Amino acid sequence: MNEFRFLVGMIVILELVLFACGLKVVENRHNARKLFIELEHEQQIHHSLMDERARLKLEISNLEQIRQVEARAKEGGLAPAENGRVIILDKNAVSSGAQK
Q: Would you give the DSSP letter of residue 77?
A: T
Count Cα atoms within 13 angstroms, Cβ side, for 48.
6
Boundaries of every domain in the chain: 2-99
Predicted local confidence at residue 100, as pLDDT = 45
Closest CA to 48 of 38, 56, 36, 37: 56
**DSSP assignment of 58-71:** HHHHHHHHHHHHHH
Pinpoint the alpha helices (H) of the chain.
2-75, 91-99
Contact 56, 64 (CB under 8 A): no
Could you list the mean pLDDT of each consecutive 10-residue stretch along the chain, which spans 100 residues?
90 97 98 98 97 93 82 77 67 54
Predicted local confidence at residue 63, as pLDDT = 83
